[in-house]
């Protein structure tokens, strides 16, 4: 089934500017593999040397963090959107 993957602004340089990419997949892992097959440069930004998803890459299926579902084995229901959300950290709070 077709799955739409939303690409965050910092990674769009690797998807030729595409904000969303549609792939054929049944699970989150299949969707990520299809995405990196289509855009190989994304591989090193999403996965570490051991092939595991980098800790600062968050994936949401609808509003649910897939880490709290079944991770990469999470099935993707028809019509759902997968979002890649990089973590943001660092800096000081205003007024601190």
- For residue 81, the cross-strand partners are 4
Number of domain units in the chain = 1
95 within some domain = no
Please state, as a whole number, how many other Cβ atoms lie within 10 Å of the Cβ of residue 22: 14
91 within some domain = no
**Which range marks the domain in which residue 58 is found?**
2-86
56 within some domain = yes
Query: Whole-number mean pLDDT of the chain?
Result: 88
In the predicted structure, residue 76 carries a pLDDT above the cut 70: yes
What's the whole-model pTM score? Answer: 0.84
* Nearest Cα residue to 76 out of 25, 21, 19, 7: 25
Whichever domain contains 59, its CATH number is: 3.10.20.30
Residue count of the chain, please give it.
Answer: 96
92 within some domain = no
13 within some domain = yes
71 within some domain = yes
The whole-number average pLDDT for the span 18-40 is 95
């Amino acid at each position: 089934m077709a799955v739409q993957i939303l690409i965050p602004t910092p990674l769009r340089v690797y998807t030729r500017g595409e904000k969303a990419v549609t792939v054929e997949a049944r699970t989150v892992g299949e969707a990520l593999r299809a995405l990196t097959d289509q855009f190989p440069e994304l591989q090193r930004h999403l996965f570490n040397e051991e092939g595991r998803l980098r800790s600062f890459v968050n994936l949401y299926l609808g509003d649910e963090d897939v880490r709290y579902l079944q991770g990469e084995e999470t099935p993707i229901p028809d019509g759902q959107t997968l979002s890649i959300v990089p973590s943001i950290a660092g800096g000081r709070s205003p007024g601190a």
